[in-house]
Chains A and B, each alone.
Chain A
C-alpha cells in the first residue's frame, strides 16, 4: 500500500517556482521524507530529504508541516530539464517508490 499521495501530474512555466505537494498522514516518528526524480529511461536521482525541519540544498527546498503529515518540494526556478517524474517517499533505508508526479515544465 502506498504510504504517500501525490498528484498524478502538474504543469509549470519555465522560470517559475514548481511546488510539488505530498501527503503522508501515516508517517511514523523515525521515518524520513525523501524526494527523488526520474527522467525518462534513467535511474532515479536523489533530490533531498528531511525529518522534521525544512531543508534546502542546491537543487530544491523541502517544507515539512509541523505535524509531518504532508510536505512540499519546491524547485525555485524550474527549467525545461526539470521535466521528470517526482517521487515522494517516506521510510528509512528500504524505500518504496509510488507512481509519483509527472512535472512538465513548458517554455
Chain B
C-alpha cells in the first residue's frame, strides 16, 4: 500500500532562518506531488506541484521554493523565513497520468506545523 511521510511534524524557527521540510512517498511510482499551506483560520493554499523529477510549478510568488530530487521525494525550502511563513504545511500525492480520472484524489501527509517568531 502507498504511504506518505513528512517531517518534521512541528518546528519553531526565528525570522531570517532557513527552512527545509521533507516529504517522501512509498508504494507508488511517478506520482504527482504537492505542497499546500494552511494559515490560521484560512483554507488550503496550493504552493507547488510537480509531475516529475526536477519539474516544479509554482502557484503563487513567495518566499519559498520546492525541489524534487528523486521520484518520490519532495522538499520545501526557504533561505530566510518571514513571519508570514507560519502555518500548517501539507504534502500530498496523487496518481499521475494526464487522463487519469483519479488524478485529483490527493493523499495528504500528517502535516508540518511551522511557527516563525
- A residues contacting B by CB (< 8 A) are 32, 34, 36, 41-46, 49, 51, 87, 89, 91-100
Contact = CB atoms under 8 A, between A and B. Distances in A.
A69 to B, nearest CB: 19
A97 B105 contact: no
Most buried by A among B59, B94, B108, B110: B108
Which label, helix, strand, loop or mixed, suits the secondary structure of the A interface? loop
B105 A44 contact: no
Contacts of B110: 42-43
B49 A97 contact: no
Given A93-B32, A94-B57, A98-B43, 18 more contacts: A32-B101, A34-B104, A34-B105, A43-B90, A43-B92, A44-B106, A44-B108, A51-B101, A87-B44, A89-B104, A93-B49, A95-B104, A97-B36, A97-B43, A97-B44, A97-B45, A99-B43, A100-B43
Interface of B: 32, 34, 36, 42-46, 49, 57, 59, 88, 90, 92, 94, 101, 103-111
7 contacts: A42-B110, A43-B92, A43-B110, A45-B108, A46-B106, A97-B46, A99-B43
A41 B45 CA distance: 15
B105 A49 contact: yes
A31 B92 CA distance: 20
B92 A93 contact: no
